[in-house]
């Protein structure tokens, strides 16, 4: 009985193994990011006037592969063996972590040499992830029955949110209790567990058979970009990714200022407030399957993005403590629903042999939009916190979050309109014939 229940919940054995592999791999990625910032600020470069540049270097090392490596990797993965790609990606990250720990113990590096080593490790990990994630997307397209894809994405998002919360809290604690290297040991063990889970999958095709003739590498890369632009639904999904990237780029630098300056929260209270967002995401993963039975995946994706803009606007206009917490919780629910529904939409509309290319385009779109938005908002806020023409209770931080929310809100509304218009056109054509 228990075996039957486990099979029902985890869909099939391959999904269970891929689910565990993703959780272990993501745990390593999130834990490293959580530990590195604390390590730099409180120990390695504490009091160094160039600390902001050092943090910027680590952020760039983790971000640049998403822009420059991801689209190149996706075109190659479509003609490779996804299982082998995932295992090699984990092996590369394990080897890089072991080398870094060995250098820390025996090379007697200076703080800035250690920073360069950390940045190189983050660069290698992020580069390997650009191969691991599209390969996993290719496998999921054939491993999960079409009618259970949203359910599978919801369960994957649930574990991802839980791992994010766990690693964000565990990283600083591990650093305080037993030092930074303990986190890297756990990362190595997690990646080894991920590789083991992937190797244990069975019955999956050694190579995804494409529905179109094979092409030379650069032609394959170009055809992936053409498909993303010419296919109406895929283009809508990329637009949604860009809209979220703009929101992310504005919100990341402004949220701490809004919480601790505009709302006048203490750091501990601000930390509790921020926890409402991933908690909302966890809650949404439990509702996504129920919603998917009542709404098309395309409608659910665009509708969740529209509601995300609405919830973010309510947060930007809120004050006090409990109202911002509630609106941030709702934002987390909307974002998780959007992320859960988007995957099955792509799996449904992307032809076999194109999933690596299309899934790899999402990261550059998200990262470029986010970087440009961050640059714009930080330049605007550098002139002072409050704009002189705004009322005192509506300062620049509140304005920036409001602009971010309105962009997502209007974009989501236009996506819903486009989706509805497309559906009406299809119904008219079918009625004519």
For 391-420, write each residue's pLDDT tens digit.
555 578 888 899 999 999 999 899 888 887
Instruction: Reply yes or no on whether the pLDDT at 338 is more than 70.
Output: yes
pLDDT of the residue at 312: 93
What is the per-residue pLDDT across 80-111, written as a single tens digit (0 to 9) for each? 788 889 999 999 999 999 999 999 989 888 88
What is the pTM (predicted TM-score) of this model?
A: 0.70
CB-CB contact of 359 with 134 (8 Å): yes
Question: Which has the closest alpha carbon to 210: 358, 354, 346, 344?
Answer: 354
Rounded to the nearest 10°, the torsion over CA 167, 171, 174, 175 is: 170
Q: Reduced to 3 states, what is the DSSP secondary structure of residue 64?
A: helix
* Mean of pLDDT values over 300-318: 92
DSSP notation for 303-372: HHHHHHHHHHHHHHT--SSHHHHHHHHHHHHHHHHHHHHHHHHHHHHSPTT-HHHHHHHHHHHHHHHHHH
Of the listed ranges 136-140, 215-219, 383-387, the one predicted with least confidence = 383-387
Q: What is the pLDDT of residues 263-303, one digit of tens each?
A: 887 756 776 777 788 788 878 877 776 777 777 878 888 89
Structure confidence at residue 348 (pLDDT): 79
| Tokens, residue 366 | 């998200």
Asked if pLDDT for residue 433 goes beyond 50, the answer is: no
pLDDT score recorded for residue 390: 52
Q: Average per-residue pLDDT in the chain? A: 80
**Interatomic CA distance for residues 206 and 79, integer angstroms:** 11
């Amino acid at each position: 009985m228990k075996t039957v229940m486990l099979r029902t919940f985890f869909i099939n054995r391959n999904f269970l193994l891929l689910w565990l592999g993703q959780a272990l791999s993501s745990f390593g990625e999130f834990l490293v990011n959580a530990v590195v910032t604390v390590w730099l600020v409180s120990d390695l470069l504490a009091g160094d006037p160039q600390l902001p540049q050092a943090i910027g270097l680590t952020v760039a090392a983790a971000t640049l592969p998403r822009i420059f490596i991801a689209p190149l990797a996706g075109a190659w993965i479509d003609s490779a063996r996804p299982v082998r790609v995932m295992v090699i990606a984990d092996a590369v990250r394990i080897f890089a972590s072991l080398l870094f720990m060995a250098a820390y113990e025996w090379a007697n590096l200076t703080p800035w040499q250690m920073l360069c080593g950390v940045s190189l490790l983050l660069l290698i990990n992020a580069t390997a992830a650009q191969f691991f994630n599209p390969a996993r997307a290719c496998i999921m397209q054939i491993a999960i029955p079409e009618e259970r894809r949203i359910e599978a994405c919801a369960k994957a998002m649930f574990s991802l949110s839980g791992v994010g919360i766990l690693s964000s809290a565990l990283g600083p604690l591990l650093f305080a209790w037993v030092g930074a290297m303990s986190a890297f040991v756990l990362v190595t063990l997690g990646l080894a567990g991920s590789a083991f889970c992937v190797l244990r999958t069975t019955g999956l095709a050694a190579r995804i058979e494409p529905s179109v003739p094979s092409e030379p590498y650069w032609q394959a890369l170009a055809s992936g970009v053409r498909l993303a632009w010419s296919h109406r639904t895929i283009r809508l999904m990329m637009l949604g990714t860009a809209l979220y990237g703009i929101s992310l780029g504005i919100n990341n630098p402004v949220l701490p200022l809004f919480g601790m300056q505009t709302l006048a929260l203490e750091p501990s209270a601000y930390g509790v407030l921020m926890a409402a967002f991933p908690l909302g995401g966890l809650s949404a993963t439990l509702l996504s399957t129920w919603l998917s039975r009542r709404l098309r995946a395309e409608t659910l994706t665009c509708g969740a993005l529209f509601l995300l803009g609405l919830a973010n606007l309510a947060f930007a206009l809120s004050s006090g403590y409990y109202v911002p917490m509630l609106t941030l919780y709702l934002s987390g629910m909307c974002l998780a629903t959007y992320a859960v529904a988007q995957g099955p939409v792509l799996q449904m509309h992307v032809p076999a042999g194109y999933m690596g290319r299309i899934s790899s385009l999402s990261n550059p779109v998200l990262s470029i939009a986010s970087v440009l938005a961050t640059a714009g908002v930080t330049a605007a806020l550098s002139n002072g916190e409050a704009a002189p023409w705004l009322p005192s209770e509506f300062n620049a931080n509140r304005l920036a979050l409001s602009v971010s929310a309105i962009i997502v809100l209007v974009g989501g509304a236009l996506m819903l309109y486009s989706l509805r218009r497309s559906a009406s056109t299809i119904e008219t054509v079918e009625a004519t014939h």
